[in-house]
Amino acid sequence: MGRPSLRVLLDALAAAAGPRPRALVLADDRAAPDRAGLEALVPEGVAERVVVVASGGRGPAAARNAGWRAGDAPWVAFLDDDVVPARDWPARLVADLRGLDDEVAASQGRVRVPRPPGRRPTDWERSVAALERARWATADMAFRRAALASVGGFDERFPRAYREDADLALRLRAAGWALAAGTREVEHPVGPASPWVSLRKQAGNADDALMRALHGPGWRAAADAPRGRLRAHAATTTAGALALVLAAAARPRAAALCGAAWLAGTGELAWRRIAPGPRTAAEVATMLATSALMPPVASWHALAGRRRARALAARPAAVLLDRDGTLVHDVPYNGDPERVKPMPGARAALDRLRAAGVRLAVVSNQSGIGRGVVSDRQVEAVNRRVEELLGPLGPWVVCPHAPDDGCSCRKPAPGLVLEAAARLGVAPERCAVVGDIGADVDAARAAGARGVLVPTPRTRRDEVLAAPERARDLGGAVDLLLGGS
């Protein structure tokens, strides 16, 4: 937000032919949001539908989560603020979504990057043009709201663009959803950029390290992502560092050999970037300077990303929460939303998990349904009230059976935990279950997940003593799970 391109986008949407959206949500992710300034940019044709939300400067994943959670339509179409939709974009969006099978989570639009007339594109222009080949780029992507909710939305541990969308696509596929390509089109003009933009983009190597930690070494193939040059960058950086060390140690011959290797690696990278470009004096000078700096910058970001990924890997990828006695006060067989009262500090604890990129789900025994005390509809109304008070909680996985029904889902059986993990696209061993009785911990153990007990007055002493991990309240459990005390 705040770039001149936003007004161009809004004007294009106002002038487009076809159906209007239920809401047009502007997600302002600037550290100092300007609601009035944004609303002043909105043309009359769409002003009555505009909703402005702020996400605190935490990056595009957080902004998109704030955006889709602000609406209620069954489909959410994301557009970056620097694209220009075609005049028939709304009509073709509806056509792309109409008739999709229920298991299709998303439809990707086509991105077209205009080329400069009469000359070869610069390195920056070629970088932007790569969006035309990117899979699941959220520059123009429509998601089914139920699919986003089922996996907890975008992972906010990705602070930059370009990997948060690939991560979401892989998690949706792992949870059994399919993704489709649409026919609608947006234009993505190449905006102005600093000569050093290619160095700033190397920060993405840290996100690649997180992708590997989350999805394994085959994530690039699974996400249809190009291989990259990190190995070559690491080799060039190592050669340059050794040349300096050996020169300082008065070993000129060895230093010269390493220096030659550094020069060869740097020269190869520079030529690879210069050859397809316009080869003007300014472009060549920029490529030479940035090619000398790019390998160490990329290597540094990759190492920093690996350190951060190792720290995050110690955390659970998902936390599955019991409802009664953990999220809200336990009211036996409650079917009245008015009686829902959150546990002290529950909202703050959940917000910390969301900010850390941990996915959430609720796993709850509701035997009142099987006993005929409450209805499915009443339980769903109570669950909606819980989310109104505590925020989105991901998929709700509920066992409606009575204790004597012999089902495989009722805790302490592992069924609820396994189903929630599958719906989130997370292996059970990457999950933690937080509950207030021994059945919650036992269900976690049976599924191969981590179990944390948060006792209440109704928790039996033997359950407290048997729990492998305990916390005084939900906030303490979050401390434990995020690596605190």
Please report whether residue 103 resides in a domain.
Answer: yes
**DSSP code string of 280-300:** -HHHHHHHHHHHHHHHHHHHH
Are 280 and 141 in a shared domain?
Answer: no
Are 104 and 25 in a shared domain?
Answer: yes
- The residue with tokens 């409802």 is 323
Are 94 and 165 in a shared domain?
Answer: yes
Please report whether residue 225 resides in a domain.
Answer: no
Are 248 and 387 in a shared domain?
Answer: no
% of residues, the chain, pLDDT over 70: 99
Are 399 and 464 in a shared domain?
Answer: yes
pLDDT tens, position by position, 422-451:
999 898 989 999 999 999 999 998 898 999
Judged by DSSP in three states, 425 sits in coil
394 within 8 A of 352, measured Cβ to Cβ: no
- Note the pLDDT of residue 80: 94
| Domain residue limits at 253 | 230-313
What is each CA distance from 217 to 232, 281, 456, in whole angstroms?
18, 40, 42
Token pair belonging to 205? 């190597």
What is the average pLDDT value for the chain, to the nearest integer?
92
Region 475-479 average pLDDT: 94
Select from 313, 346, 370 the last residue of a domain: 313
Region 68-74 average pLDDT: 88
Instruction: Kindly indicate the confidence band of residue 313, based on its pLDDT and cuts at 50, 70 and 90.
Output: low
Region 393-407 average pLDDT: 92
Please report whether residue 218 resides in a domain.
Answer: no
Give the sign of the dihedral formed by CA 171, CA 390, CA 478, CA 408: negative
CB atoms within 10 A of CB 128: 19
Residue 105 has pLDDT above 60, yes or no: yes
Q: What total of structural domains would you count in the chain?
A: 3
Please report whether residue 53 resides in a domain.
Answer: yes
Please report whether residue 142 resides in a domain.
Answer: yes
| DSSP-derived secondary structure letter, 116 | P
- Note the pLDDT of residue 484: 56
Are 116 and 161 in a shared domain?
Answer: yes
Contacts 24+ apart (CB under 8 A), 122-125: 122/277, 122/278, 122/283, 123/198, 123/273, 123/277, 123/283, 123/286, 123/287, 124/190, 124/193, 124/197, 124/198, 125/190
Instruction: Kindly indicate the confidence band of residue 31, based on its pLDDT and cuts at 50, 70 and 90.
Output: confident
* 284 closest CA partner among 298, 271, 295: 271
- Note the pLDDT of residue 296: 97
Select from 141, 174, 193 the last residue of a domain: 193
Residue 267 has pLDDT above 90, yes or no: yes
- Note the pLDDT of residue 483: 79
Catalytic residue (choose from 155, 208, 324, 436): 324
Are 419 and 344 in a shared domain?
Answer: yes
Half-sphere exposure at residue 432, Cβ-oriented, CA atoms within 13 angstroms: 24
Residue 485 has pLDDT above 50, yes or no: no
Residues near 216 by Cβ (< 8 Å), separated by ≥ 6?
none
351 is catalytic: no
Select from 141, 173, 193 the last residue of a domain: 193
What is each CA distance from 416 to 211, 336, 403, 421, in whole angstroms?
27, 24, 14, 9
Region 349-357 average pLDDT: 90
322 is catalytic: yes
Residue 331 has pLDDT above 90, yes or no: yes
Catalytic residue (choose from 123, 322, 440, 442): 322
Residues near 467 by Cβ (< 8 Å), separated by ≥ 6?
438, 441, 451, 452, 453
d(CA 380, CA 403): 20
Residue 479 has pLDDT above 70, yes or no: yes
Question: What pTM value is reported for the model?
Answer: 0.76
Token pair belonging to 462? 């033997």
